[in-house]
Amino acid sequence: MLTNNDIMKKLRVALSFKDTDIMECLELAEFKITKTELSAIFRNIDHPNYKECGDQLLRNFLNGLIIKNRGRRENQNLDE
């Protein structure tokens, strides 16, 4: 079964994104995260600084990716 961390890793590779690209998408979705928190998501599960990627982070990344590629809709509510 794929975890949110696995999905984020696969998307990062498929899109050839660096951490800054991912942070840009999250900022477009008005979601703030530090570079340290983001790097913890891409660590191995047995690493002491590993952090589980929550649904909210994945959802906001995908929303930011949509905004980056398509632009914002008029009267777009990011909580939808």
The residue segments making up the domain with residue 47 are 4-70
Instruction: Provide the domain count of the chain.
Output: 1
Transcribe the chain into DSSP letters: ---HHHHHHHHHHHTT--HHHHHHHHHHTT----HHHHHHHTS-TTSTT--PPPHHHHHHHHHHHHHHHH-PPTT--TT-
pLDDT, tens digit (0-9, with 9 covering 90-100), for 47-62: 999 999 999 999 999 9
Model confidence, pTM: 0.86
Return mean pLDDT, the chain. Answer: 92
User: Does 79 reside within a domain?
Assistant: no
User: Does 80 reside within a domain?
Assistant: no
User: Does 51 reside within a domain?
Assistant: yes
